[in-house]
A = this chain, B = another copy of it.
């Protein structure tokens, strides 16, 4: 294998080229950041855990007909993915009010939404990933109306599939962030990662305790402690759910 070249180092992953120009290698890091990288730290084994969770989830989604960038995992913290042109959008699906939705609407944390909310944010660290209205999204030409329609539809499909899957892990999927990209044929694929870094996951057996139930990056954001344990716990449950479904 030839020497790999670093294409991009992000907050959670490093992307490398491979022999095949249509394939990238994503290396998952233990680095953790929050609040637009104002808070920085590290979560032990996060790279391996998030790579494992993500790869399991991508395979689940593929089995349900959702096209993703996932190829395989040549090492525990490495994922081979299709090289895509990522749309500069963070697509957030919310089932329960939490985080910025609460801050910006006054909705109480934990409010169950009548129907899932699909929201678009401008993936732009300098601007702090601001919320987009449709008008702003189109004004900035971040995607075409057809792409937005397709993404919104896919996001809801993915949400259904993931709610069901995490339900089997005895976990409530509160919200999560998706990224999409275009391949050489302009096909829209699900990209990036789906992990406790990019979702809110609440332990059903501890629903009554707003701190104990948290199995995601909010433990790091809010200094709740036991961050590694929570991530590890999610991975164990994901693996068990997949095992018992085979």
Residues in A lying within 8 Å of B, measured CB to CB: 101, 103-107, 113-114, 117-119, 122, 124, 126-127, 130-136, 139-140
Q: A133-B131, A133-B133, A134-B134 are in contact. Are A126 and B106 (CB under 8 A)?
A: yes
A103 to B105, alpha carbons, bound, how many Å? Answer: 20
Tell me whether A127 and B139 are in contact in the complex, defined as CB-CB below 8 angstroms, given that A119-B133, A134-B134 are known contacts. Answer: no
B124 touches A106 (CB 8 A): yes
Interchain CB contact under 8 A, A105 and B135: no
B-side contacts of A130, CB under 8 Å: 104-105
Please state if B122 and A105 are interface contacts (CB–CB under 8 Å).
yes
- Are A131 and B134 neighbours in the complex by a CB distance under 8 Å? no
A133 to B119, CA, bound (A): 8
New A-B pairs, 13, CB < 8 Å, besides A101-B136, A114-B139, A119-B133 = A105-B122, A105-B127, A105-B136, A105-B140, A106-B124, A106-B140, A107-B140, A117-B136, A117-B139, A118-B135, A131-B131, A131-B133, A132-B133
Task: Count this chain's copies in the assembly.
Answer: 2
A94 to B: closest C-beta gap in Å:
10
Partner of A127, one of B104, B126, B127, B134: B104
Task: Given the known inter-chain contacts A133-B133, A134-B134, please indicate yes or no for A103 contacting B127, CB distance below 8 A.
Answer: yes
**In the complex, what residues of B have CB within 8 A of residue A127's CB?**
103-106
Across the interface, A139 reaches (CB within 8 A) one of B103, B105, B132, namely B105
Q: Which 3 A-B pairs have the closest CB atoms?
A: A104-B130, A133-B133, A117-B135
Could you say which of B104, B114, B135 contacts A119, with CB atoms under 8 Å apart?
B135
- Residues of chain B contacted by A135 (CB below 8 angstroms): 117-119
**Known contacts A124-B106, A126-B106; is-contact A113 B131 (Cβ 8 Å):** no
A-B contacts, 8 listed (Cβ < 8 Å) = A104-B130, A104-B136, A105-B130, A106-B124, A118-B135, A119-B133, A119-B135, A131-B133
Least CB distance from A124 to B in Å reads 7
Whether A139 pairs with B113 at a CB distance below 8 angstroms is yes
Q: Complex: how many Å from CA A114 to CA B136? A: 12
The complex places the Cα of A105 from the Cα of B126 at a distance, in Å, of 10
Min CB–CB distance A150 → chain B (angstroms): 18
